[in-house]
Amino acid sequence: MKKLFTVLFCSFIFSTSIFGQKIPPFRAGDRVAFVGNSITDGGHYHSYIWLYYMTHFPGMRINCFNVGIGGDAVDQIYNRFDDDVFSKKPNILTLTWGMNDSGYFEWFRPDAQATMDKRIESSFKYYGMLEDKLKSRTDIKKIIILGTPYDETTKSNPKNLYPKKSIAFAKIIDFQEAAAKKNGWDVVDFFHPVLAIEKREQVKDSLYSLTPNDRIHPDNDGHLIMAYLFLKAQGLDNKPVAAIGINASANKVTKAVNCRISGLTVTNDSVGLNYLANSLPYPIDTIPRGWGNRKKQAEALSIVPFTQEFNQEVLAVQGLKSGRYDLLIDGERMGTWTDQQFSAGVNMAEITSTPQYQQAIQIRELNEERWDIERRLRMYVWMEYDFLKGKNMLYKDNNAAMDSVKKYALKDVFVNGNKDNYSRARYKSVRDAWQKEQNVLTDEIYSINKPESHHITIVALN
């Protein structure tokens, strides 16, 4: 058992090291389209990635777009690419596909394997057509994301309805990796690290899964792990929010990484300084977000070292007299630590009451509001391409289209789930207003995300 755990853990480290450090970070002005299926459409990984940039690089504005549609296989992605993806005017796009191409109810057929082999070959053909389309756009940087796996090994409910789906999906992943290598396109691997994590955790708890609802869709913790892997691939790990070093006995600043320190004052029982960071801490969410999700983003922190690698705002003070000290920021008490703890370093990014963390929370909440509005527009696009296009009503949005939606909603659960949203979104004025709301929210984020100067005091307790 111990040997198996070691092998799986090493496999995880190996995967992340292979694909880490290969993709340049985003730059100011980048327009990044995240293209995919429901895991992109209804998921948060792209929003979590953008939130990192919003907080860590507050002066460097980028734009990220959710261009996923639930249920899409690669042929459907191909058919909407011109209108739905290129219309976003991206200079970078990520592409993930394969979960839907590896089938569902096909696995119930007596000739399931032969049927799936034909289906996958058809997907490879459509991918080739999409690949040709992408190769013609030399102005766009391409990143292939190897998507999260179908979890066939967890012992939790629901029942594994699609045995061998994980094998079919793995075949698609191998194809994608080879295709990206052939074209010289970048790759971010979610598949192998997430697979290793699930197997590692299932050794300890057979019920564990990052896709607890249906073995397919990661919950919020899974999406933070995906964001972690993407940011790590960009080489952004171990870039601190800030690192402050003070030698109290020498009355000296010994370290100021990604921040400015001024006005250092040291007395027998206190240390004071002015602190202006270049970044804000990453505000970890403790509320389940998104329809059907039950888990919190924060639950990922026990699975991957996100805090250690991406959220370090360390205040280290050596030379304090033995004892316990209060940490105050702008006169407000943040907590109490010993001289030894201050000497080792206190990670202020884990203190949610700091003014800088509170500032970051506002950015998170605005970003969540933006995400929610963007989802309405994605639900509209789903209705257009996954239903109305088949009725020769693509973008008609007239009364006949609405009548068709109402009719089929009585027997199609997916149409019914999108019906109410479509009843509003079919009006261009409503869609335009939603887009304006997103723009206002993004403008506000980049208006309030600039770090402010704070006065830090460390005071000995009597």
Domain limit, last residue, from 169, 204, 233? 233
Same domain, 184 and 86: yes
Give the pLDDT confidence score for residue 158 in this predicted structure.
Answer: 83
Give the pLDDT confidence score for residue 296 in this predicted structure.
Answer: 97
Contacting residues for 81 by C-beta, under 8 A, at least 6 apart:
35, 130, 133
The CATH number assigned to the domain holding 265 equals: 2.60.40
Give the pLDDT confidence score for residue 462 in this predicted structure.
Answer: 77
Structure tokens at 178: 């080879």
Give the pLDDT confidence score for residue 315 in this predicted structure.
Answer: 98
Same domain, 342 and 373: no
> DSSP letters along 233-252, please?
HTT-TT--SEEEEEETTTTE
CB 236 within 8 A of CB 25: yes
Same domain, 346 and 443: no
Same domain, 56 and 191: yes
Give the pLDDT confidence score for residue 11 in this predicted structure.
Answer: 44
Q: How many CB atoms lie within 10 A of CB 270?
A: 16
Same domain, 164 and 273: no
Same domain, 184 and 203: yes
Domain limit, last residue, from 215, 233, 251? 233
The CATH number assigned to the domain holding 205 equals: 3.40.50.1110
> What range does the domain containing 58 cover?
2-233
Same domain, 17 and 109: yes
Structure tokens at 390: 């088949």
Residue 254's identity, in one-letter code, is T
Same domain, 190 and 306: no
Number of domains in the chain: 3
> Which parts of the chain have pLDDT scores under 70?
1-21
Domain limit, last residue, from 199, 214, 233? 233
Tokens 């409503």 locate to 430
Same domain, 331 and 368: no
Same domain, 222 and 314: no
Same domain, 213 and 111: yes
Write the pLDDT tens digit of every residue in 313-327. 999 999 999 999 999
Distance CA 442, CA 448 (A): 10
Same domain, 68 and 177: yes
